[in-house]
A and B are shown apart, each in its own frame.
Chain A
Amino acid sequence: MSSPGTVTAAEPRTTKSAPAILRAVNLKRTYADGQVTALNDVSLEVHAGEYVAIMGRSGSGKSTLLNLLGALDRPDQGEIYFEGEPLSKQRNLDSFRAKRIGFVFQSFYLLPTLTAVENVQIPMFEGPLNPKQRADRAHELLKIVNLEHRLNHLPMELSVGERQRVAIARALANEPAMLLADEPTGNLDSTNEAEVLNLFDQLHAERNMTLVVITHSQDVADRAQRTIHLRDGRIVSDVTGHAASHSSRK
């Protein structure tokens, strides 16, 4: 950890004594042939069942960090350990992402030609399920996100909130160890935002899901147990408890 956490009012559901599901050590990522440093010397741990918000201004390195943590990109320096295994030793990051990470994006990225139930099955192609089992599981997941009445609707026939809930169901398709969300409520109104956040709370509470959420929104960060602030590619604070996240931004 680059800075010590401070436990405040909100009691975390999972303590840091739980095993670290993810450990990043001295991450550095540059772009434009090393001219732009997006992340520099970032280290952090995320524990199993933890709900972490990562905040920071545009250009602070949030998305770069999410890309690295989600194995969408590789660091120039440093190492990421997932469940104790270094990602640099993973021969197939595609397979790793498919099985271990669930992604939720601001723009949902649902395939427009596929119905809700079909969209949810997309990640399952990389898993062991047969077509029938995929469909059954997609039904189940859409039920969890309260969309069992919208199974056969195309994305354009769904509200933005419903689309994001389909995307969350999709992220859960292969029972990932961790959910990474990049501005998941960025395109939602307050009602839909609350619905999505409630869903995250539910996943965290009921399934002990590890959640890492990148956000600009204080309301979103307030739901998390822990808030990490980034500035100019470095962690400037790492605070456990949402009350502290307000003060640490200053």
Chain B
Amino acid sequence: MRLWNVVVKNVLRRKTRSLLTASGVAVAIGSVVALLGVSRGYQQTSADLYDNRGIDLVVVRAGVALASALDESYVELLRKLPHVARVNYGLSDNVSFGNDVISIRILGWPPGSSAFETLELREGRGLKDSDAAMDGTGGVLLGSSLAEERLNKKVGDTTEVEGTPFKVVGIFQSTNVLENGSAVLPLLALQTIMQREGQVNEFLITIEKRSPDLDRVTIDELRKQIGALEKDGERLGLVAKTTNEFVNSRAEMQMSRAMSFVISGIALLIGSVGMLNTMIMSVLERTQEIGLLRAIGWRKSRITRMILLEAFVLSVLGCAVGTAAAFGLTLALSQVPVVQGVLQRGITPGVVGAGFLMSMVVGLAGGLYPAYRGASLPPTEALRYE
């Protein structure tokens, strides 16, 4: 017999209580894993939007976490910088479509922009300059899941963007779930709708050839030059970020991370308190047994190990069930039409690892004090305990 046998039998002694405790841990870990997974998925999807196009730097207004407003004309200054192969730019926002559906991501790109290269046109045609018309003859491209799952539109149908009618001229497919749930208008049309004439959110820079000799120093130099750009003697106040930096700095990402952090903290607290309660009860009930173990020579460290292992067994059990439930939950959620095109499951090994680590913290936080208390019981007193 090994210590493990004793531990497992102790855990199984009060099956209902162990099950409830493990369930508490499962709910805590499951919520965290699901939340982190969704958050990570969204982050990854957002980063993919840029990475898939070979974008190296994203230029936005310095010190602005929300969508920044930049003058479209800066593009010419950026194109003149050394090592810059291509500069794309555009406007993006969340708008309402028709009367019911709200908050759909819409992109405004200049027709003919190389940004369209990553979109595979499944039906219809691409955007033309004339599609920017605001009199009902303008055209819009819809992502496949937006067209089919949310709007139920096909090529030739008309849809309203913030009250302005546009004809669906094409339906595209992208490898990115976020893009599949988006629409694309000519930049001019979106600027007009959003009353942001001449403005864009960001400039997307691709560095020439992506050659190996273009080292970090060169990129850093380029970033410095972008930061120092001036027009008419005035600094433009731009900042160039790598795609990861940019995605991580966005307000919604920061909010999502903050929420994950807060909810993880609460879950951790609830899980730990539940575990603490169970383990204290368990140690209290077994006072005489622990006294016997001490009397016959079990060291304090062995008693501590036994009780901590019991807490860890419950934690790992809860973690396994919670993680499985998180997989199921995010799978189910990703099938719900309202979040299609936004939510991509991102339960990576890292997220599972974070959940496991958290369950270990719950086990430790809930088991440490009872273990200390159990191990500290003087055997003579413990044996007398009724």
Q: Which of B12, B291, B293, B380 contacts A122 (CB 8 A)?
A: B293
A62: min CB distance to chain B, Å: 13
**Is B300 at the interface (CB under 8 A from chain A)?**
yes
Contact present for B380 and A126 (CB under 8 Å): no
Contact present for A111 and B1 (CB under 8 Å): no
Contact present for A113 and B299 (CB under 8 Å): no
Residues of B within 8 A of A125 (CB): 3, 298, 302
**Is A118 at the interface (CB under 8 A from chain B)?**
yes
Contact present for A111 and B300 (CB under 8 Å): no
**Is B294 at the interface (CB under 8 A from chain A)?**
yes
Q: Which of A97, A131, A171, A174 contacts B2 (CB 8 A)?
A: A131
Query: When chains A and B are docked, how far (Å) is the Cα of A7 from the Cα of B354?
Result: 74
**Is A95 at the interface (CB under 8 A from chain B)?**
yes
Residues of B within 8 A of A96 (CB): 297
Contact present for A111 and B297 (CB under 8 Å): no
Mask for A177-199, Cβ within 8 A of B = 1, else 0? 00000000000000000000000
**Is A103 at the interface (CB under 8 A from chain B)?**
yes
Mask for A115-127, Cβ within 8 A of B = 1, else 0? 0001001110110
Q: Which of A92, A97, A105, A118 contacts B383 (CB 8 A)?
A: A105
Contact present for A72 and B298 (CB under 8 Å): no
Residues of A within 8 A of B298 (CB): 94, 98, 122, 125-126
Q: Which of A98, A107, A113 contacts B296 (CB 8 A)?
A: A98
Query: When chains A and B are docked, how far (Å) is the Cα of A4 from the Cα of B194?
Result: 109
Residues of A within 8 A of B299 (CB): 92, 94-95, 126
**Is A25 at the interface (CB under 8 A from chain B)?**
no
Mask for A61-91, Cβ within 8 A of B = 1, else 0? 0000001001011000000000000000000
**How many interface contacts (CB-CB < 8 Å) are there between A and B?**
69
Q: In chain B between 280 and 314, which residues have their CB closer than 8 angstroms to a CB of chain A?
A: 288-289, 291-300, 302
In this complex, how many residues of chain A approach chain B with their Cβ under 8 Å: the count is 31
B354: min CB distance to chain A, Å: 34
Residues of B within 8 A of A67 (CB): 380
Query: When chains A and B are docked, how far (Å) is the Cα of A129 from the Cα of B13?
Result: 27
B251: min CB distance to chain A, Å: 54
Closest residue of chain B to A63 (Cβ to Cβ) is B380
Contact present for B1 and A118 (CB under 8 Å): yes
Query: When chains A and B are docked, how far (Å) is the Cα of A122 from the Cα of B302?
Result: 12
Closest residue of chain A to B300 (Cβ to Cβ) is A94
**Is A134 at the interface (CB under 8 A from chain B)?**
yes
For the side of the interface on B, what is the size category? 20 to 34
Residues of A within 8 A of B383 (CB): 105, 109
Closest residue of chain A to B297 (Cβ to Cβ) is A98
A174: min CB distance to chain B, Å: 8
Contact present for B13 and A113 (CB under 8 Å): yes
Contact present for B297 and A95 (CB under 8 Å): yes
Query: When chains A and B are docked, how far (Å) is the Cα of A122 from the Cα of B9?
Result: 13
Q: In chain A between 37 and 58, which residues have their CB closer than 8 angstroms to a CB of chain B?
A: none
Query: When chains A and B are docked, how far (Å) is the Cα of A92 from the Cα of B294?
Result: 12
A229: min CB distance to chain B, Å: 22
Mask for B1-29, Cβ within 8 A of A = 1, else 0? 11101100110110000000000000000
**Is B341 at the interface (CB under 8 A from chain A)?**
no
Residues of B within 8 A of A103 (CB): 295-296
Q: In chain B between 246 and 302, which residues have their CB closer than 8 angstroms to a CB of chain A?
A: 288-289, 291-300, 302
Contact present for A73 and B289 (CB under 8 Å): no
Known contacts: A125-B298, A126-B297, A135-B1. The answer to whether A114 contacts B6 by CB under 8 A is yes
**Is A23 at the interface (CB under 8 A from chain B)?**
no
Contact present for B5 and A118 (CB under 8 Å): yes
Contact present for B294 and A94 (CB under 8 Å): yes
Contact present for B13 and A123 (CB under 8 Å): no
Residues of A within 8 A of B181 (CB): none
Q: In chain A between 18 and 46, which residues have their CB closer than 8 angstroms to a CB of chain B?
A: none
Closest residue of chain A to B293 (Cβ to Cβ) is A122
B138: min CB distance to chain A, Å: 75
Q: Which of A72, A94, A98, A121 contacts B1 (CB 8 A)?
A: A121
Query: When chains A and B are docked, how far (Å) is the Cα of A179 from the Cα of B1?
Result: 24
Closest residue of chain A to B11 (Cβ to Cβ) is A113
**Is B186 at the interface (CB under 8 A from chain A)?**
no
Query: When chains A and B are docked, how far (Å) is the Cα of A113 from the Cα of B1?
Result: 13
Closest residue of chain A to B286 (Cβ to Cβ) is A111
**Is B379 at the interface (CB under 8 A from chain A)?**
yes
Query: When chains A and B are docked, how far (Å) is the Cα of A78 from the Cα of B9?
Result: 42
**Is A242 at the interface (CB under 8 A from chain B)?**
no
Q: Which of A99, A107, A114, A118 contacts B297 (CB 8 A)?
A: A99
Residues of A within 8 A of B10 (CB): 113
Contact present for A94 and B12 (CB under 8 Å): no
Query: When chains A and B are docked, how far (Å) is the Cα of A126 from the Cα of B296?
Result: 9
Residues of A within 8 A of B295 (CB): 70, 72, 97, 103
Query: When chains A and B are docked, how far (Å) is the Cα of A3 from the Cα of B378?
Result: 32
Query: When chains A and B are docked, how far (Å) is the Cα of A107 from the Cα of B292?
Result: 11
Interface residues of B (CB under 8 A from A): 1-3, 5-6, 9-10, 12-13, 288-289, 291-300, 302, 378-380, 383
A-B contact pairs, 25 of them (CB 8 A): A72-B379, A72-B380, A73-B380, A92-B299, A94-B297, A94-B300, A95-B297, A97-B297, A98-B297, A98-B298, A109-B288, A109-B292, A109-B383, A111-B292, A113-B12, A114-B6, A118-B1, A118-B6, A122-B6, A123-B297, A131-B1, A135-B1, A170-B296, A171-B296, A174-B297
